[in-house]
A and B are shown apart, each in its own frame.
Chain A
């Protein structure tokens, strides 16, 4: 497991308890106004020793994405990474006779497109909880953000829709 999401836990742990009921209601209202983040892509990298386990899990994860109406597609690295180390076959002498051990790491990738925050957290939670043993998962998400105000003030024309201009060329 590479993905760590401890911030929310710490936040709730260190926050002082709410003193009155009105404060509690206010905080709930503030939370309701908070908008969902938008994710352009959520990419998941899987590593494992067994290619069969990986392909099976990729099938599961893409199917789960399809049921939530998320565009998902997957690919594999063609070749695994081999980590080898060579030792003497005998304990002491006979240098010509070696034995070679090897760790293989197979890579698989899944990419989900255009998600909201709630969908992404639900999907990731579901996938992570069903992660089989011996498979490592790394989730990378790309968030969409609004253009900063100061850029728009400088030169608004630069950021307007170019689709009409292109037709003249």
Chain B
């Protein structure tokens, strides 16, 4: 986040990993819109919990959503949210969706430098 866009592939990496924008890639616009939708849905569902960017990775027909969240809600609520997110997103996008979340105690843990 501290690096500008032209540093992609130099100092930082992509937030969406898919093959749509390669030569001969299929459905680039749909993939982009779906990724935006996934990000909006995740931010709204996991409200004020994400402390990193949301990474969307597509392999075959699976969508894997990664990110770092805060441990500010109970584990029981978190399990509910995971099931809820996976169920709804896989119904809307018509493919298996998996969440790969990591947690931190405090949101200051993911700050590396101040600029």
Contacts and interface: CB of A to CB of B under 8 A. Distances in A.
B22 A48 contact: yes
B55 to A, nearest CB: 10
Contacts of A105: 22-23
A133 B22 contact: no
B39 interface: no
A136 B59 contact: no
Contact of B23 (A81, A131, A132, A135): A81
B14 to A, nearest CB: 7
B2 to A, nearest CB: 20
A164 interface: no
A133 B17 contact: yes
Given A49-B9, A50-B9, A133 B59 contact: yes
B60 interface: yes
Contact of A83 (B9, B18, B23): B23
A49 B57 contact: no
Interface residues of A, number: 17
A49 B64 contact: no
A135 B19 contact: yes
A60 interface: no
Nearest to A106: B22
A135 B60 CA distance: 10
Contacts of B58: 133-134
Given A1-B60, A49-B9, A50-B9, A134 B23 contact: no
Nearest to A135: B19
Q: Which of A48, A49, A81, A131 has the most CB of B within 10 A?
A: A49
A81 B23 CA distance: 8
10 contacts: A47-B19, A47-B24, A49-B9, A50-B9, A83-B21, A103-B21, A105-B23, A132-B59, A133-B59, A134-B14
Interface of B: 9, 13-14, 17-19, 21-25, 57-60, 64
Interface of A: 1-2, 47-50, 81, 83, 103-105, 131-136
Rank and list the top 7 A-B pairs by shortest CB-CB distance, nearest first: A133-B17, A134-B17, A133-B57, A136-B19, A105-B23, A47-B22, A103-B21
